[in-house]
Every structure is written in structure tokens, then in C-alpha cells.
Structure 1
Amino acid sequence: MQQALVVVDMVSTYDFEDGEAVARAARERLDAMAGRIAEAREKDLPVVYVNDHYDRWDGSRERLIEWVLDTTPHADLVRPLLPEPDDAFIVKARHSIFYETPLGYFLNSRELDTLTLVGQVTEQCILYSALDAHVRHFGIRVAVDACVPLDEELGRAALQMMERNMGAELV
């Protein structure tokens, strides 16, 4: 098993419907997310960021990160989770980390076959990404303490679906 940690949508402005609720939930899980990232780096596992692009198509992660930090009132949620220079950073336009992104090619070219997902939102981007990983035959692990739900009840239901329907390991 060759694993990667995938950080989903944590470079965020939180400027969207329900953004304040997501920011509150992210604050509760910030230490766990930072811990998962640090643990992956200690184990020398690839850390891959897949993030919304906010209609910024210039292809520069540095400019995207700078713009997010300059525009969000929640920079304190973003800074502790920023990618390091050697981390992969892939932009996405929709909910799934795979939808029209080069992520599948990236993972296959490095013979990575198991993904541990952390990030936001559990019942949206995490769920859709887990389904897309499943249909592509990747092993799925979901770090429950490091995934941010919009709604706690729907988040739990999404975790159950990932475990039952996609064989995801909840860690």
C-alpha cells in the first residue's frame, strides 16, 4: 500500500454560503488537520493539496494562496495548513478532487494507491471525492477528526456512506 494524504479545500476564503458555519467547524478540527499533515510528512508520505480555484486560473498556487490570505477574515485557519514547497497543489473547479483535474495521473504516475482524505466539507467535497476515488480503484481512508462537516448529522451520514458503500476506512 502506497499512501498519500490529500488535503481538500483548506486554502479557503470562507466567502460562500454557509462559510461562517464551515469556518467554525474547521476551527474545532484545525489541530487534528495540522497533526495529520505533520504526521504524513514525518512518515515521508506525499501530501497533496487539491483546492478550489475561486475562478483564478493563472496557475500559480503562490498567487492563489496570497490572494486567499489577503481576502479572508479567517487567515488563522489557513496559515497552519499551508502547503510546503515540495507538496503537490492541484486546483479543481467542482466538488470532486478528480473531476477534470490531473490528480489521477499524478497518483498513478507515483504508484500511489491509497488516499487519506482530510479537509472540508465532509458531506460534499470529501464524500464526492471518496466516491470518485472508489470508482478509480483507490483505497480510501478518511481522517474523521480532520474532516469538516457543514452539518454534524449529515457529516456522520456521509462518513457512514463512505465506509459502507465505498469500503472507506474511517481513521
Structure 2
Amino acid sequence: MDKTAVIVIDMINTYDHDDADLLLPAAEAALPAMVDLVERARRHDVPVIYANDNFGQWRSHHGELLETVLAGPHADVVRPLSPDENSLFVVKARHSIFYETPLSYLLRQQGITHVVLCGQVTEQCVLYSALDAHIRHLKVTVPHDAVAHIHADLADAALRMMERNMGARIPLTADLRW
């Protein structure tokens, strides 16, 4: 049986960037499913890993990133998904959660063979992360109601590519079983 981890991608976010006005409505719409996914994972002792951009702040750590975001105008989108004391955290600098991060090593150390990806942006970071997980021979699930997009048409195409080309499962969050 596969050991699963839920990976929350880029949800600790100030939304002070290009396309934020397009991303925020999708993030707000996906937030309930993301919160449900993370809460269910925690109840079932499924590891929750946050993989988040550091916004070029190379002297920061995840606590500082979270403090900055929670003090900002979009804290209501971030607060419900805040890491808890058992959450793991990987800082990333580029689109993929694997690119030059210790995530592959962490997953191997934890015996993880299946990742459930949620967060943002479906047609960018989620897509590239799913591909990188696939080429590492990990099983990939992307609940389509727990990811946020900038462009709906590109997100739909990205989800189809993940399903068809990578064998990813694309269920509703409510249909996931641990």
C-alpha cells in the first residue's frame, strides 16, 4: 500500500504580484476544499508538507513568511491553511516543488510513494510539480477542487495533461480515501 503525503503548494502568499487579481478569486473558491483536504489528512496522520516560494527573501524562513502574510490584506485566504506543529516545510525558488529543494530526499526518508497536490497555480507550479513527481515514480493525485488557477482554460488543459500524460488521479477532494 502506498504511503501518502499532502503537499500544499504556494498558499502562504501575499498576493502582491502580477496576476494576483485573477488568482485570488480562484484561491478563495478552492480554499474550502484545500482546508478540508488538510484537515482530513491531519486526522488520518497523513503528513502535510508545505512547499512555498520564498519571494526572493533568502534570509527568511517559513515562520517569517507566514508572519508577513498573516499581517497582510489577504490573511483570510492563508490563515485557514496555516501549518501546524506537525507540518513539514520546504522553501522553493522556482515553479516545481522539487527543483533544487530537499523534497525528494524528504519523501524518500518518510517512505512516501504517493503525493496529493493542492494549492496554486494549477497551470504553473502544480503542473510542473506533478510532472516532477511523475518522473520520480511517485503516484500523483490532484483534487481539481483544491487547486487555484490564473487562467481557467489553461488550468483545465493542465489537469487533462496531468491525468492523460502522467496518470494522475484528478478527483474531487471529497472522493479521496486514506
TM-score computed with the length of structure 1 as normaliser: 0.97
Query: Distance between the aligned counterparts of 1:153 and 1:164, measured in 2?
Result: 16
The alpha-carbon deviation at position 20 of structure 1 amounts to 1.6
Aligned to 1:89: 89
The alpha-carbon deviation at position 55 of structure 1 amounts to 1.4
**Which structure 1 residue ranges, 5 or more long, are not aligned?**
none
Matches within 5 A, 1:147-162: 147-162=147-162
Aligned to 2:49: 48
Aligned to 1:3: 4
**Which structure 2 residue ranges, 5 or more long, are not aligned?**
172-178
Aligned to 1:19: 20
TM-score computed with the length of structure 2 as normaliser: 0.93
Identity of aligned residues (%): 49
Deviates more, 1:18-27 or 1:53-62: 53-62
Aligned to 1:57: 58
- The one-letter code of the counterpart of 1:24 is P
Matches within 5 A, 1:135-150: 135-150=135-150
Please state whether the residue corresponding to 1:99 is helix, strand or coil.
Answer: coil
Report Cα offsets for 1:139-164 as digits up to 9, x if no partner: 00001110001111111100000000
Please state whether the residue corresponding to 1:158 is helix, strand or coil.
Answer: helix
The alpha-carbon deviation at position 13 of structure 1 amounts to 0.6
Contact 2:54 2:60 in 1 (8 A): no
The alpha-carbon deviation at position 134 of structure 1 amounts to 0.6
